[in-house]
Structure 1
């Protein structure tokens, strides 16, 4: 006797609550399956559609477990197979709810900072932490702050424990360097999540620790991250001041490239200082020509120098803010192919949004092409949204409002739908 096909209303309801579509759930399941140590899944959007419609009666235990882990993380509670319409599926182990909010309380940071003045570790332990730190930097733009912040916190706590033991001076210096970098990484991640007060506290801690070992390059990096935080808080004058402070530590060294482009030029653009933008860009370009910089698109979260491509992407944003749309398109198109060939979905989104905004604000607007790029940008970042993409997507949305065109109205609708789905990860509400 043929089986009666019935829609899985429970799965549909949970997906609706989670704000995830077929494509989104399939992509998240593929990614989660590659990271949890089990069998990798090749779930597609058509598979999800079959589960929703009841064409596929129930998933295999492994598929069901991964689906539950993903949906549990999105709705912030543990789900059982019965909750998504599969009471008959027996799991090998109970799915665990992933940690969604992963930063520490201000009290923990404060207590640790106070204890740093108090005083033998195996060098291998420090090397492992070094490797782990580099690995997190490499994975950051693929996995994002929500998934990786717990790993950084665990490393930071372990390093803190070791600093409280009696160490040889050289080992203690290495521990402090790692501590400063890990706190700095947490500051950067908190900015990406819109957790600005936490970002500032982590930065304060990182700068203090870097000062204990008198590491001006690391201090310059932290000031760059503080400027980055101020920029996304809309405090552009503060972002300028922090970038200039960082440049005093960086001098003409590698960190100056980031401070000049990501910090100074972008913030000066927001306050309309075209001459200041030109001067910062010229100095950054000169340094990038004489200093050894990496090829391709360097990671956004890195303690290494910015590459030419990363520099150009930031210059495009600076010129967009100050109203030089020709230069925005020049620098944006310069890095487009490198960005598209990278793992950075955020860079793909941000460069597209900069180009799109320049296209609609230029003297000869191309609304159709701009909206196409804007919609692509939203699609790229839907699974791992961050604060910067949220801000620029809405800035582009504002720029399209003056056009009475169906394409512009379509983007507004797509933006509203996208915003509802990613609000918990990247919206301004996270800044409180």
Structure 2
């Protein structure tokens, strides 16, 4: 490659070769972009010669398109020729100038090469900087993928969504190893925090408690590094959620309270208050604290209206009324105050059924089933029917939260052990959680 024009021509040819291989493999630009974890605009600009991405891009394309390394080989050939051309031009000019009485005067044009780096060297360094800086398109792609995954949470089985997110987590690591301008770096860390928080919740759903704690702690550290208080509050809410389901109620409360200190006027205050504070306080037996938290959460709904009827469980925005009602019901149920539960569950179940969110549908039904056992005239058959519905709704998801709530229901149902419907619930739960034969059933056999 004798000059920059020849280099540009070679790069354009490489872009056209990529387009041909992509089409031959039956991929659209958008489809290939998703597979190689780059933005669609990056693929399009590369194919037309307007962008020249780094070597990793071509490695991924070769792997995805199964080219046998053709694209990387050509990338390396172009890079090597460009390096040699730059050395040939810069080499002779690298000799030191002889000093003379006028050496410090302004140099003549024909002496300038002795003072300055060659233009190609400056250009190469500038291109390396541009290649290392993640453009807004890549960051927008990453943010869009994470928001979509948070939306898909509770709609897809956690194992499926985790499989989809793992490559994205590796992609984030690669971006973080690069160089970005400060505003882009903050966006990258914020997106990484949301991704780690999502993976923490998925690990919790799958019963991987240590992994869940590790991801959640990482989410907060990333949010802290980004100096984003709202993201810090969101991460604390996720840590509180995990601590609650691992039985660490004091920790769950502490995370929620720290999140509230960081949240300011953020809509994250609703989730932290009702999902974090209220439920943890209920488990710790603080009746006054639960009443106060529930009242504050509902009061905040008018200040932060949800844009959807049912917000996501890991909402980046405000919690909706249905989520708030469902968490209030769970808190009051833990206190044994069933009179405060019915109205909240009526609101929650109607909204969750309309949205078709099976996890929340199941959890609310299990709470309602427990209410049926606490009345003056208990209805164990109706309670068993609701519990069976809950386990059936989540048959392909096998959520840890649902299994825990089902075990709590069965513990309350012990006085009604002779009911065959309740035995069916216990047997189904044992099957779902792969309880061994040697383990006693959740509901004792009738004597």
User: Normalising TM by the smaller chain, what interval?
Assistant: 0.5 to 0.7
Query: How far is the alpha carbon of 1:404 from its aligned partner?
Result: 5.5
Query: How far is the alpha carbon of 1:351 from its aligned partner?
Result: 0.5
Cα distance between partner residues in 2 of 1:275 and 1:251: 24
Moved more, 316-325 or 300-309: 300-309
Cα distance between partner residues in 1 of 2:264 and 2:370: 34
Aligned residues of 2:310 and 2:351 also touching (Cα < 8 A): yes
Is 1:163 aligned to residue 214 of structure 2? Answer: no
Is 1:416 aligned to residue 416 of structure 2? Answer: no
The partner residue of 1:341 within 345, 354, 367 is: 354
Query: How far is the alpha carbon of 1:423 from its aligned partner?
Result: 3.4
CA displacement, residues 243-300 of structure 1 (integer Å, 9 cap, x when unaligned): 1111111133211100111111011111211111000001111111222323311121
The partner residue of 2:276 within 247, 263, 267 is: 263
The partner residue of 1:186 within 178, 186, 199 is: 199
User: What residue in structure 2 maps to residue 382 of structure 1?
Assistant: 395
Cα distance between partner residues in 2 of 1:421 and 1:393: 11
Query: How far is the alpha carbon of 1:325 from its aligned partner?
Result: 0.3
Aligned residues of 2:238 and 2:314 also touching (Cα < 8 A): no
TM-score, normalization by structure 2: 0.66
Using CA pairs below 8 Å that are at least 6 residues apart, which structure has the higher relative contact order? 1
Give 3-state SS (helix, strand or coil) of 2:341's partner.
helix
CA displacement, residues 302-332 of structure 1 (integer Å, 9 cap, x when unaligned): 3221111111111110110011101111100
Is 1:295 aligned to residue 299 of structure 2? Answer: no
Give 3-state SS (helix, strand or coil) of 1:142's partner.
coil
Cα distance between partner residues in 2 of 1:339 and 1:166: 43
User: What residue in structure 1 maps to residue 159 of structure 2?
Assistant: 146
TM-score, normalization by structure 1: 0.68
The 5 Å alignment of 1:197-236 reads 197-236=210-249
The 5 Å alignment of 1:9-408 reads 120-403=133-416, 405-406=418-419
Cα distance between partner residues in 1 of 2:357 and 2:306: 19
Aligned residues of 2:384 and 2:425 also touching (Cα < 8 A): no
Cα distance between partner residues in 2 of 1:175 and 1:252: 24
Cα distance between partner residues in 2 of 1:320 and 1:421: 25
Structure 1 residues 251 and 364 mapped into 2: Cα distance closer, same or farther (>3 Å)? Answer: farther
Cα distance between partner residues in 2 of 1:224 and 1:415: 32
Aligned residues of 2:157 and 2:396 also touching (Cα < 8 A): no
Query: How far is the alpha carbon of 1:415 from its aligned partner?
Result: 2.5
Aligned residues of 1:269 and 1:322 also touching (Cα < 8 A): yes
Cα distance between partner residues in 1 of 2:301 and 2:384: 33
Q: CA RMSD in A?
A: 1.9
Structure 1 residues 251 and 342 mapped into 2: Cα distance closer, same or farther (>3 Å)? Answer: same
Cα distance between partner residues in 2 of 1:416 and 1:181: 37
Give 3-state SS (helix, strand or coil) of 1:292's partner.
coil
Aligned residues of 2:381 and 2:421 also touching (Cα < 8 A): no
Query: How far is the alpha carbon of 1:135 from its aligned partner?
Result: 1.8
Cα distance between partner residues in 1 of 2:398 and 2:330: 19
User: What residue in structure 2 maps to residue 106 of structure 1?
Assistant: none
Aligned residues of 2:192 and 2:219 also touching (Cα < 8 A): yes
User: What residue in structure 2 maps to residue 105 of structure 1?
Assistant: none
Cα distance between partner residues in 2 of 1:247 and 1:217: 10
Query: How far is the alpha carbon of 1:405 from its aligned partner?
Result: 4.9
User: What residue in structure 1 maps to residue 52 of structure 2?
Assistant: none
Query: How far is the alpha carbon of 1:240 from its aligned partner?
Result: 1.1
CA displacement, residues 361-394 of structure 1 (integer Å, 9 cap, x when unaligned): 1233222221211111111111111111001111
Report the number of matched residues. 306
Give 3-state SS (helix, strand or coil) of 1:363's partner.
coil
Query: How far is the alpha carbon of 1:201 from its aligned partner?
Result: 1.1
Cα distance between partner residues in 2 of 1:302 and 1:416: 34
Cα distance between partner residues in 2 of 1:384 and 1:366: 28
Aligned residues of 2:406 and 2:429 also touching (Cα < 8 A): no
Cα distance between partner residues in 2 of 1:252 and 1:325: 32
